[in-house]
């Protein structure tokens, strides 16, 4: 993939963030998501590439745009898989809370797991603890391994986990270990990425969440030198059929980083919509919108933080 693609992709996330940010705290999550999705699609179609959405807003009959299988780009240029979350944290924006992001992951055609819209058990860590985790191990063993890798006491660790009833047992085990917890209302992609940056204070992410978000998080952590493991959680007969179509008959199969994001090249791009530990949210003043983004490439290990100022009176 062309290295110039990274700057094209950040234009996409910036446009979507500028559109979604207008809905901050207004209690209208669908409107915020629709605004981000429309802006993202329009900008995607100006990029020289043959893109196929493998993770999007839903199936073709469920989503008016950015549906799974949709073709994006000008149809000339590199053939790529695209995973998108036009607004990671629709509830966050509606409530005016922290850590809402616009997110894209891109890899060569056939290199991203086509994860169905179902739950995935996840574990994510940054570079220091890469190779030290095991999703099948007890919580305490993973905490001990991460603490040792990061030269910390377990009591010093911060575990990010979604605040859900299904996580009550895991939360109890974490508290019993002495580790600290950061409960999230939404946004486990941001939590997974935060494990790779010391200034966020997050050491490990645990728990279950959306499988599509797991693929996007894995693409980011591959670029950051971190580690991610997942297990798809089959709950219905329909999900069982979908997994079989993917060639997955062992429902306890552990998906490692290279199972989820194949090869050595992938891009991850995110722009903040609301303030978070890693990225600042969109600001508006007069006719200027300010954005804060991160762009990563797995092949080179390059990480760029970009602050953009955009005229709101002109088309981008």
Instruction: Confirm whether residue 108 is marked as ligand binding.
Output: no
> Is 201 marked as a binding-site residue?
no
Strands (E), the chain: 50-55, 71-72, 79-88, 101-108, 119-125, 158-162, 180-184, 204-210, 227-233, 266-272, 283-285, 288-297, 302-311
Q: Is 79 annotated among the ligand-binding residues? A: no
Provide the token pair at 313: 């009176």
Number of H helices and E strands in the chain, helices first, is: 9, 13
Q: Is 57 annotated as a binding residue?
A: yes
225 is in an annotated binding site: no
CA–CA gap between residue 193 and residue 127 (Å, rounded): 11
Start-to-end Cα distance in the chain? 24
User: Cα(254)–Cα(237) distance, rounded to whole angstroms?
Assistant: 20
What sign has the CA pseudo-torsion 215, 224, 294, 199?
Answer: positive
User: Tell me, what DSSP letter sits at residue 48?
Assistant: S
Whether residue 165 is annotated as binding a ligand: the answer is: yes
- Is 166 among the annotated ligand-binding positions? yes
Question: Using alpha carbons only, how large is the chain's radius of gyration in Å?
Answer: 19
| 2 annotated binding-site participant | no
Is residue 284 a known part of a binding site?
no
- Is 73 annotated among the ligand-binding residues? no
Q: Is 259 annotated as a binding residue?
A: no
Task: Please report, to the nearest 10 degrees, the dihedral formed by the alpha carbons of residues 6, 8, 13, 16 taken in order.
Answer: -170
Strand duo 119-125 + 101-108: pairing: unpaired
> What 3-state class would DSSP assign to 45?
coil
The answer on whether 213 is annotated among ligand-binding residues is: yes
Does 134 carry a binding-site annotation? no
Instruction: Report whether 210 belongs to an annotated binding site.
Output: yes
Assess contact for 87 and 100: CB atoms under 8 A. yes
Confirm or deny that 237 is annotated as ligand binding. no
Give, in order, the Cα–Cα distances in Å from 163 to each of 166, 209, 211. Answer: 9, 11, 17
What would the two tokens of residue 80 be?
């790529």
Binding-site residues from annotation: 33, 57, 85, 88-90, 119, 164-166, 186-188, 210, 213
Residues flagged as binding site for substrate: 88-90, 119, 164-166, 186-188, 210
- List the binding residues for Mn(2+): 33, 57, 85, 88, 213
């Amino acid at each position: 993939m062309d290295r110039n693609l990274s700057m094209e992709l950040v234009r996409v996330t910036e446009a979507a963030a500028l559109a979604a940010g207008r809905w901050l705290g207004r209690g209208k999550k669908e409107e915020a998501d629709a605004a981000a999705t429309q802006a993202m699609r329009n900008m995607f179609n100006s990029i020289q590439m043959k893109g196929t959405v493998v993770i999007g807003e839903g199936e073709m009959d469920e989503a008016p745009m950015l549906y799974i299988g949709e073709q994006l780009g000008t149809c000339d240029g590199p053939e790529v898989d695209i995973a998108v979350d036009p607004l990671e944290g629709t509830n966050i924006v509606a409530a005016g809370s922290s850590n809402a992001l616009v997110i894209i992951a891109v890899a060569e055609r056939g290199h991203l797991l086509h994860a169905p819209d179902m739950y995935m058990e996840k574990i994510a860590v940054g570079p220091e603890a890469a190779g030290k985790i095991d999703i099948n191990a007890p919580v305490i063993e993973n905490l001990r391994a991460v603490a040792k890798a990061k030269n910390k006491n377990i009591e010093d660790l911060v575990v990010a986990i979604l605040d859900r009833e299904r996580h009550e047992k895991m939360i109890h085990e974490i508290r019993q270990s002495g580790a600290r917890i950061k409960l999230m209302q939404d946004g486990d992609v941001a939590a997974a990425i935060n494990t790779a940056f010391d200034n966020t204070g997050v050491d490990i992410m645990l728990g279950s969440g959306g499988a599509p978000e797991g693929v996007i998080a894995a693409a980011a952590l591959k670029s950051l030198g971190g580690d991610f493991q997942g297990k798809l959680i089959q709950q219905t007969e329909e999900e069982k059929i979908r997994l079989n179509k993917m060639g997955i008959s062992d429902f306890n199969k552990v998906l490692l980083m290279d199972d989820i994001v194949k090869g050595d090249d992938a891009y991850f791009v995110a722009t903040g919509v609301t303030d978070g530990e890693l990225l600042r949210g969109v600001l508006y003043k007069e006719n200027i919108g300010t954005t804060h983004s991160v762009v990563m490439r797995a092949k080179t290990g390059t990480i760029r933080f970009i602050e953009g100022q955009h005229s709101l009176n002109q088309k981008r």
